[in-house]
Amino acid sequence: MLMRPTLLLITAMLAAPTLAQTAAPQQPANEQVIVPEVQRRDVRLPKFPSKDFEVGLLAGTYATQSFGASGVAGLRLGYHLSEDFFVEGVYAQTKVSDKTFTEIFPGAGPLADTDKKLSYYNVSAGYNLFPGEIFLGSKYAKASSIYLIGGVGSTKFANQRKQTFNVGFGFRVLFSDRWAVRVDVRDHIFSYDLLGVRQNTQNLELTTGFAYYF
């Protein structure tokens, strides 16, 4: 007789919800439990200078074929397209002496006083062939580069303006993010006919100078 109440009790227990189901409703899987109350603010990113532009001074010696070497000085403006390639423009002046001719033929120098100034400008493209570092002692290392450069421009000499090609190489050392020292060797190739015969001339130039990047 006791089996009927027992069966009824078991049936009621199976049909009733479990304790975990009735204790609290389940949270959805993607619902955030803790919502942070953080006030967002606009942040202005700093603007770092690119330092792609370069301006500088140059000075050295310019050897005009058949007329000897003289001091040269000029200005340089450049733009660095990437870590490997750059372009630049140069304007410079020097004085040419015909002293050798006047010593051989007194009073017969080929240049008048107004013809003894040589000036040129050019636009060139360069390639950093060997970028690296130069060590100053055992504690300091500075970024450096050996580069090739070449371009085209114009030279004014003895009241004649001639198209000029220049080719050469250089060495650059950066002592800081903005300052560098450069040494350049160039060959300026143009033609003139001062001595009665038109000839192509090789005019070597060696300069050094400072550069500022901005």
pLDDT digits (tens, 9 = 90+) for 134-155: 998 888 899 999 999 999 999 9
CA distance 151 to 166: 5
Cross-strand bridge partners of residue 151: 124, 166
pLDDT digits (tens, 9 = 90+) for 6-41: 655 566 565 555 544 555 556 566 666 777 777 777
- Residue 122, pLDDT > 80, answer yes
| Residues in CB range of 94: below 8 A, 6 or more apart | 62, 64, 70, 71, 72, 73, 117, 118, 119
The average pLDDT across 80-106 equals: 83
The chain-wide mean pLDDT, for the chain, equals 83
The token pair at 71 is: 């001091």
Q: CA-CA distances (angstroms) from residue 187 to 5, 65, 147, 156, 206?
A: 116, 11, 15, 16, 9
pLDDT digits (tens, 9 = 90+) for 150-201: 999 999 988 889 999 999 999 999 999 899 999 999 999 999 877 667 889 9
Give DSSP secondary structure letters for 70-81. Answer: EEEEEEEEEEE-
CA distance 13 to 18: 9
Q: What is the pLDDT of residue 128?
A: 97
pLDDT digits (tens, 9 = 90+) for 42-67: 877 666 567 899 999 999 999 998 88
DSSP for residue 85? E
- Residue 104, pLDDT > 60, answer no
Distance of CA 104 to the CA centre of its chain: 49
Beta strands 53-64; 68-80: pairing state: antiparallel
The average pLDDT across 108-120 equals: 72
CATH number of 53-213: 2.40.160.20
Identify which of 97, 93, 102 has the alpha carbon closest to the alpha carbon of residue 113. 97
Q: What is the pLDDT of residue 2?
A: 46
The token pair at 75 is: 């200005």
Q: What is the pLDDT of residue 26?
A: 60
Q: Do 93 and 73 contact (CB within 8 A), yes or no?
A: yes
* SS3 assignment, position 113: helix
Q: What is the pLDDT of residue 199?
A: 84
Q: Where are the domains of the chain?
A: 53-213
Q: Do 90 and 76 contact (CB within 8 A), yes or no?
A: yes
Q: What is the pLDDT of residue 194?
A: 72
Q: Which amino acid is at 135?
A: F
The token pair at 137 is: 């002692």
Q: What is the pLDDT of residue 50?
A: 77
- The H or E element spanning position 144 is strand 140-157
Q: Do 188 and 168 contact (CB within 8 A), yes or no?
A: no
